[in-house]
A and B are shown apart, each in its own frame.
Chain A
C-alpha cells in the first residue's frame, strides 16, 4: 500500500486508525502533541471520536470507560503526563482493560525539558502505579515501527486484556522517515468482547471492577494476573538480532539509541571489531533468555548498554546476564543524544581494559 514520508508521531495516528482505534482521549504535551493533533484531524474523518480531556488523569480514565464499553481506545503523552496517568493505568491493569498508551519521552525529572530522553523506563516497565501489575511495553526505533508497533499494541492489548504502552522518545516521534502503511483492519469482523459492558441486554451482567475486599480473593485475582504476565513472557518477546553470530561484544539499547548503536556497530565492523547488537523491541516482556544465551557463549567478552538515562534498562540486562559476563553502561541525560563516534570510543576503551 501507500508509502509516505512522515513523522513518527503521525505514523502512530495513522497506524492506530488502520488498527481500528475508535476513540482517542488525550491532553497536549510536547513532544507528543502531534499525536493528539493528528487524532483530532483524522478520527472524525472516519466516523471515530476525539476528545481533549481536562487533564492527563481524566484522559486515561476516559480510556478506562471506553475500553470497559468494548471499544478500541488510545491516549498519548510524555513523561510528566505519564506520571499523572499512572493512577488510571493501575486501574486499567486491575480491571483488565485493553488501552493503548503512547509515551513520547522527554527530559526529566520535574518539568525537565522537551528534548528526547529515556528516563521513563522504570516508571513504565517496572510499574509506576500501585499494585502487582505489568503492562506490555513496545519500543519502536523508526517511523515504520511507530506505525507497526502501535498496530501491534492494539492486538496485544485485546489479546491479553491489558494496558499496552508504546515507549518511544522525542527523537523517534519528531523524526520523518518513509512508512509503508498496511491495509486497514476490518473492524466489522472483530469478535464482540463478551466481557465488556456495552449497555445492552447481552452484557448487562458483566462487571468492570478492581475491588476484592477479601484478601484470599484478591490474592487469587493477583495470581490470575501474574499467570497472564507469565504467558506474555512466554509468547510475546520480540527483539532485533544484528550481527550477533560471531560477536565478542554485545551492545544493547532501545529507541533512538539503538539507531546510533547500529551506526557504531557498522563502523566497528569495518575496523574488524566483532561487535553485534541485541535490541529489545519488547521491554516487557524483556528478551531475558536471549541475553542469558549470549552470556553463556564463550566468544562473548562483555555487554555494553547505552541509554539516554541514568541507567534503567541496564538493570534488566544485568538480571538476565546474572554476573556471567561484565555489563557496562554508558548514558547521556538531559536530552543529549550520544553520537556514533562517542559510543565507538567508549566501546574501544572497554575492549582494551577487558582485554
Chain B
C-alpha cells in the first residue's frame, strides 16, 4: 500500500525531457502551487484506468501551458481559451481517444467563455479539469473573472469592485443550468479530505467520458502563493476561508447513471457509395443540336432574364443552361449579384457557347427576357442591335421603344394562370425561346427540368407550360 502511494504514476514522465532547462526532474511550478497535486491526481487516474495510450491532454495558455512536459500521453498545446474547441476537433476526429482539456480560470471563464459554454451545451464527450485560482497566474497576477470582491491584483490594485468589474463567475453553477453536461463538480486540495474528494471527482469525470456519456468538468480551487503574494500555508488558508465561501464545494450535476451512451459508427464508404451520395453515379444525358441551325444573331447567345423575385427567373436561366450543357455546349449561369439587385428585381445571366466562355457576365444580351416593367426599363438599352426582347405583356404595359431589335410580346402570366399556376410563367417563356430561336430543343429542356426541378410532381405542368409558350409564338 505504502509503495502505491509513494510511486510516481506511469502516465507521468520520470524525466521531463521536453523541459528546456537543466533541471529535468522538478516541475516549473512555484512552491505551494496547486498544479502539482492536480497533475498527480490526474496522472494516477489515467494510470489506474489504463488509458494513457488513448489519452490526449490539452495544454492551455496559463501556468499549465507546459503540462505537456509532464504527462506521458498524447499532448496538444493550444491558443488561449480555445481548448474546448480544439478538444471538439480532436474528439470528433477520433471518438475513441480520451480528450482532457486542462484549463485555468482566465483561459476558461474569460477569453474562452463561449467556447466552454458551447462545448458543455453540445454535451461534447470530453473532460475538463478547471483550475480556479482566482487570478491570472502566469502573466503576473492580474484580475480573473473568478477574482473575489475586494481582492487586490495587479489590475485591481485597490481591490475588485463589483461596480466596476462585476462579480466572480461561478462556472459550475452556470454550466449546471445547461442540459448538455453529464457531470459537474467542484473540489479543493487544501487537506487530505478535500484532496480525496477531488480525486474521486476526477475519476468520475473521466469514467463518464470512457463510457461515452458526454461532457464532464471538475473545477478545483487551487492556491497561487506567488500571485497572491502569500506563503504556501497562508494561501491554503485563504482558499479554505475566503474562496470556498464564494465557490462552495460539491457535486453540481451527476447524470452519469441515467445518461445513454453516445453511439459512434465508423465505416469506410466505397467509391461507388460516395459517388452515389454526391449524385455522381450517372452520366448527364446528351442531345444532339447544331448552332448552325440557329439564326446567326442568336448563336452562342448571351441571355439576360429579369423579373420580380418569385417569377422563377433564376430557374428559367438554370434550365436553359442545363439544357445547353446537355447539348454539349459550354454554359454559364450567374444570379443577380451586386448593385443590380436593388429595386426588388431578380435577374440572371446565361451563356451557351460552342467555345470557352471568358467572362460569364452579360452586359449586352442578345436575348433579353423581361418578366416585368422595371426589367424592360432597366435593360432595354443594353440589348445588342438585332437582338431579341421577349416581354411578359401580362405585366409589361408598354412595347420596347427600340426599333433595331426584334421583340415578342407574350402574356406569360395569363397563360400560366389558365394552366393552373402562376409559377409556370417562366416555362411559358422558355417555350417561346425554344420556338423562336431554337437555341435549345424541347427535348433537352424537358430533360433539364428533371435535374433542375426539385419536386418531380410539378414537372408535367412545367412541360405543359413549355408547350403552351411554343404554341402561342407559333400562332403569332
Interface residues of A (CB under 8 A from B): 1-5, 14, 17-18, 22-23, 25, 42, 45-47, 49, 51, 53-55, 57-59, 61-71, 73, 87-88, 91, 95, 115-116, 170-171, 174-178, 181, 183-184, 186-188, 197-201, 203-204, 206-211, 213-214, 217, 259-260, 262-263, 265-266, 335-337, 339-341
Q: B79 → chain A, closest Cβ, in Å?
A: 5
Residues of B within 8 Å of A5, CB to CB, are 284, 318, 321-322, 325, 331, 333, 451
Partner of B114, one of A18, A54, A63: A54
Closest 7 CB pairs of A and B: A65-B89, A199-B97, A263-B359, A69-B93, A61-B85, A263-B358, A66-B89
Chain A residues with Cβ below 8 Å from B334 are 171, 174-176
Q: List 21 A-B contacts (CB under 8 A).
A: A2-B284, A14-B280, A17-B274, A18-B278, A42-B277, A42-B278, A51-B92, A57-B85, A59-B85, A62-B88, A62-B89, A63-B89, A64-B78, A65-B85, A176-B333, A184-B275, A198-B94, A199-B98, A207-B68, A336-B338, A340-B359
Q: Are A181 and B280 interface neighbours, CB within 8 A?
A: yes
A25 — nearest CB in chain B belongs to which residue?
Answer: B89
Smallest beta-carbon distance A75→chain B, Å: 10
Q: Inside 8 A of A184's CB, which chain B residues have their CB?
A: 271, 274-275
What CA separation (Å) do A206 and B271 show in the bound complex?
A: 32
Given contacts A171-B337, A204-B52, contact A54 B115 (CB under 8 A): yes
In this assembly, does B99 line the interface, its C-beta being within 8 Å of a C-beta of chain A?
yes
| B77 beta carbon closer than 8 Å to chain A | yes
* Of A87, A199, A335, A336, most B-chain CB atoms within 10 Å: A199
Contacts of B321 in A (CB 8 A): 5, 176
Interface SS majority for chain A: mixed
Mask: chain B, 321-333; 1 = CB below 8 Å from A; 0 = not: 1100100001111
- A3 and B324 CA atoms in complex are apart in Å by 13
Chain B residues in 8 Å Cβ range of A171: 334, 337, 360
Q: Are A61 and B93 in contact (CB under 8 A)?
A: no
Cα distance A262–B89 when bound, in Å?
42
Q: Count B interface residues, CB 8 Å.
A: 73
Q: CA–CA, A265 to B282, complex, Å?
A: 37
- Residue B156, interface by CB 8 Å: no
Give the CA-CA distance A140 to B271 in the complex, in Å.
Answer: 26
CB distance from A276 to the nearest CB of B (A): 13
**Once the chains are docked, how many angstroms separate the CA of A58 from the CA of B363?**
42
Q: Is the CB of B325 within 8 A of A62?
A: no
Chain A residue with the shortest CB-CB distance to B268: A188
In whole Å, how far is A338's beta carbon from the nearest beta carbon of chain B? 9
Chain A, Cβ-Cβ closest to B98: A199
Interface string of B65-88 (1 = CB under 8 A from A): 100100011111111001001111
Q: B318 contacts which chain A residues (CB < 8 A)?
A: 5, 176
Inter-chain contact A91/B78, CB cutoff 8 Å: yes
Whether the Cβ atoms of B282 and A199 lie closer than 8 Å is no
- For A65, the closest partner residue in chain B by CB is B89
- Given A207-B75, A336-B338, do A70 and B93 touch, yes or no (CB 8 Å)? yes
Extra A-B contacts (6), CB below 8 Å, given A14-B280, A73-B93, A340-B361: A49-B92, A61-B78, A70-B94, A208-B75, A214-B20, A339-B361
In the complex, chain A residues whose CB is within 8 Å of the CB of B281? 2
Are B271 and A186 in contact (CB-based, < 8 A)?
Answer: yes
B37 → A minimal CB distance (Å): 24
Q: Which A residues touch B91, using CB under 8 A?
A: 65
Output the nearest chain A residue to B82 by Cβ-Cβ distance.
A61
- A65-B86, A339-B363 as given contacts; A23 in contact with B278, CB under 8 Å: no
The 0/1 profile, CB within 8 Å of A marked 1, for residues 11-25 of chain B is 000000010100000
Given contacts A176-B333, A199-B74, contact A46 B93 (CB under 8 A): no
A175-B360, A199-B99, A260-B361 given as contacts; is B277 within 8 A of A58 (CB)?
no
A61 x B89 contact (CB < 8 A): yes
Give per-residue flags for B85-125: 1 if the beta carbon is below 8 A from chain A beta carbons, else 0: 11111111110111100000000000000110110000000
